[in-house]
Structure formats: C-alpha cells, structure tokens
C-alpha cells in the first residue's frame, strides 16, 4: 500500500514572507540566500508526505490550534495546517522574531 500524498498549497502571504526573508539575506550573501530558499522550498515540498510528523503550533492566543510548525534552514518556521488531502502553508517566519501576532490578525 502506498503512502498518502497531500497537495501542498502555499498562500500568497507565505510567498511574500519568503521573498522578504530571501531578499534581506541576499543583500548580505546571494549564495546563502539561494541555499536558504532551496532548503525552505524543499522542506515545504516534503510536506506532501506525512505532514503530521511535525508538532502542533502552540500559541498563547489560540486555545484550539490546528496549525503545525516545521523548522527550516535553522531559523525559519513554516506554519501550516492540514485539511483533508491538502496542506496549506500560511506563514514563513523568522523564529528569532515575535510572530505570534500573525496568527491572531
């Protein structure tokens, strides 16, 4: 029996966040920016298989969180939710910054 495959959908907001992070990094080191972007996109693509392997996203503002988070490229959280056969990537945030406000807005 084959492994269940999910469709991964990246929101426009998440793509804009990724673009912002990569643009900032590219101002310092273009090669590092390319490597970081490739790693993040590879990690997102891996959510096609077993997206439940990552922990629930715990947020002090949410009591019943349906989000999960995956650490990517050592400092970025990919925050996503699973619905049916889909994985929706909603946020890509730098884990060194306060990002809880994103989830409640």
The predicted pLDDT at position 86 comes to 98
CATH T-level assignment (fold) for domain 7-96: YaeB-like fold (3.30.2310)
The model's pLDDT over 30-57, given as tens digits with 9 standing for 90+, comes to: 999 999 999 999 999 999 999 999 998 8
The model's pLDDT over 70-103, given as tens digits with 9 standing for 90+, comes to: 999 999 999 999 999 999 999 999 988 876 666 5
The 3 state secondary structure assigned to the chain is CCCCCCEEEECHHHHHHHHHHHHHHHCCCHHHHHHHHHHHHHHHHHHHCCHHHCCECCCCCCCCCCEEEEEECCCEEEEEEEECCEEEEEEEEECCCCCHHHHHC
The predicted pLDDT at position 57 comes to 84
* The overall pTM is greater than 0.85: yes
Domain boundaries, the chain: 7-96
């Amino acid at each position: 029996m084959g492994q269940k495959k999910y469709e991964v959908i990246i929101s426009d907001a998440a793509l804009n966040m990724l673009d912002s992070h990569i643009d900032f990094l590219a101002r310092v080191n273009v090669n590092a920016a390319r490597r970081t972007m490739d790693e993040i996109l590879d990690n997102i693509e891996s959510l096609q298989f077993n997206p439940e392997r990552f922990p629930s996203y715990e947020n002090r503002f949410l009591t019943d969180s349906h989000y999960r988070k995956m650490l990517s490229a050592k400092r970025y959280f990919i925050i996503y939710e699973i619905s049916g056969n889909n994985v929706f990537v909603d946020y890509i945030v730098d884990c060194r910054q306060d990002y809880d406000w994103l989830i409640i807005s």
